[in-house]
């Protein structure tokens, strides 16, 4: 604690979720150190807090060691959309694995709490529904998505091995589909894709027959869960699912976006990508139990804010 303020490191802090987290940590009167290599991060995401007296930014790649003094670490560093993580799959794996080793080493030296943002992708194309934390997953370890899926799975392994070996205060959350302002307009994620296509009047590209399902969590709800998880006691390690259990087919989402944008776009169907999950829905029983958390924002409400953001780009 420095001057009564916790000094909190957020890796990937210039990204979509990271920038919202930095804002909320500052609102909680923390001193925030934002680290990002700007591979998918964006300086514009930080413009409202760039001049805050308790905010600092370091351009740094977490695959290299970082020597700073902090009290807590939120490890969000990783390209999270298929377009970005498949562009340089070797670097994607290195970011999850070597980046985690470096951040865990920093946490060990500084005796900091450290939270890993894992992903629902650790469940792969799940064979149980909804997905509970006890499910070991159905992941193709040599497919085009495995750089992200297996990188995150290995990161979880490292976190729990550090816990077992050094009794470190680790936290692991598994994030399900998240959306909201500051999503990258060209990141290939379904919400941003559909909104941008609808705003431009282009065909809405739906893969397969659009019957695969996703659960969409608004970013403010997610950030609240991350902070609640960090605030838990030493014995609460996770992994804990964080997402909205409301389940929608991709076709339903496309139709809703077209309606809300007031677009004349038509749905265009394309072949389903390899290893694309057919169902995705979190069981959030543990989040309710240990974090006293569940999402508050309904999909339509969150889409209003997200569409407004993309209209004004």
Where does the pLDDT of residue 272 fall: very low under 50, low under 70, confident under 90, or very high at 90 and above? Answer: confident
Q: What is the mean pLDDT of residues 257-264?
A: 96
Question: What local confidence, expressed as pLDDT, does residue 110 receive?
Answer: 97
Q: What is the mean pLDDT of residues 258-262?
A: 97
Task: Judge whether 117 and 74 are in contact, CB under 8 Å.
Answer: yes
Question: What local confidence, expressed as pLDDT, does residue 118 receive?
Answer: 98
Active-site hit among 85, 148, 162, 179: 148
**Averaged pLDDT of the chain:** 95
Domain boundaries, the chain: 7-176+219-243+282-295
Q: What is the mean pLDDT of residues 212-235?
A: 97
Nearest-angstrom CA–CA distance, 165 and 184: 38
Nearest-angstrom CA–CA distance, 86 and 40: 13
Where does the pLDDT of residue 87 fall: very low under 50, low under 70, confident under 90, or very high at 90 and above? Answer: confident
Locate 310 and state its tokens.
């993309």
Q: Tell me phi and psi for residue 230, to 5 degrees.
A: -60, -30
Q: How many secondary structure helices (H) and strands (E) does the chain include?
A: 9, 13
Q: What is the mean pLDDT of residues 115-123?
A: 96
Q: Give the list of residues 6+ apart from residue 24 with CB closer than 8 angstroms, or none.
A: 223, 224, 227
In the CATH scheme, what is the homologous superfamily, with its name and number, of domain 7-176+219-243+282-295? NAD(P)-binding Rossmann-like Domain (3.40.50.720)
Q: Give the list of residues 6+ apart from residue 276 with CB closer than 8 angstroms, or none.
A: 125, 207, 208, 212
Question: What local confidence, expressed as pLDDT, does residue 3 receive?
Answer: 62
Where does the pLDDT of residue 1 fall: very low under 50, low under 70, confident under 90, or very high at 90 and above? Answer: low
Looking at mean pLDDT, say which of 81-90, 100-109, 188-197 comes out highest. 100-109
Q: What is the mean pLDDT of residues 102-119?
A: 98
123 is known as an active-site residue = no
Where does the pLDDT of residue 26 fall: very low under 50, low under 70, confident under 90, or very high at 90 and above? Answer: very high
Question: What local confidence, expressed as pLDDT, does residue 86 receive?
Answer: 86
pLDDT greater than 80 at residue 275? no
pLDDT greater than 90 at residue 186? no
Question: What local confidence, expressed as pLDDT, does residue 2 receive?
Answer: 57
The per-residue pLDDT for range 229-246, each reduced to its tens digit, is: 999 999 999 999 999 999
Question: What local confidence, expressed as pLDDT, does residue 305 receive?
Answer: 98
pLDDT greater than 90 at residue 10? yes
Q: What is the mean pLDDT of residues 194-210?
A: 95
| Whole-structure pTM value | 0.94
Question: What local confidence, expressed as pLDDT, does residue 217 receive?
Answer: 98
DSSP 192-254: HHHHHHHHHT--EEEETTS--EEE-EEHHHHHHHHHHHHTS-TT----EEES---EEEHHHHH
Where does the pLDDT of residue 182 fall: very low under 50, low under 70, confident under 90, or very high at 90 and above? Answer: very high
Question: What local confidence, expressed as pLDDT, does residue 188 receive?
Answer: 82
Where does the pLDDT of residue 82 fall: very low under 50, low under 70, confident under 90, or very high at 90 and above? Answer: confident
């Amino acid at each position: 604690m420095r001057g009564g303020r916790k000094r909190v490191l957020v890796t990937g802090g210039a990204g979509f979720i990271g920038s919202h987290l930095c804002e909320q940590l500052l609102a909680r009167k923390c001193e925030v150190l934002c680290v990002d290599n700007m591979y998918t991060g964006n300086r514009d995401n930080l413009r409202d807090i760039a001049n805050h007296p308790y905010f600092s930014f370091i351009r740094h790649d977490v695959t290299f060691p970082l020597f700073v003094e902090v009290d807590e670490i939120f490890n969000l560093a990783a390209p999270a959309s298929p377009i970005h993580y498949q562009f340089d799959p070797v670097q994607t794996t290195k970011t999850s694995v070597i980046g985690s080793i470096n951040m865990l080493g920093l946490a060990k030296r500084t005796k900091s709490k450290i939270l890993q943002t894992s992903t629902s992708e650790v469940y792969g194309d799940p064979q149980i529904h909804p997905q509970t934390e006890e499910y070991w997953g159905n992941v193709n370890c040599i497919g085009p998505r495995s750089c992200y899926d297996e990188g995150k799975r290995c990161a979880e392994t490292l976190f729990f091995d550090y816990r077992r070996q050094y009794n470190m205060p680790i936290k692991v959350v598994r994030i399900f589909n998240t959306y909201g302002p500051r999503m990258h307009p060209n990141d290939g994620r379904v919400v941003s894709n559909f909104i941008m296509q609808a705003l431009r009047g282009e065909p809405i590209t739906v893969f397969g027959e659009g019957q695969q399902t996703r659960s969409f969590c608004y970013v403010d709800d997610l950030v609240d869960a991350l902070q609640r998880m960090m605030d838990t006691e030493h014995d609460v390690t996770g992994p804990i699912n964080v997402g909205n259990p409301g389940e929608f087919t991709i076709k339903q989402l496309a139709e809703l976006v077209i309606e809300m944008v007031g677009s004349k776009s038509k749905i265009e169907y394309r072949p389903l990508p390899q290893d694309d999950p057919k169902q995705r829905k979190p069981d959030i029983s543990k989040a309710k139990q240990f974090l006293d958390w569940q999402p508050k924002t309904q999909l339509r409400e969150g889409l209003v804010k997200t569409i407004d953001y993309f209209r004004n780009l």
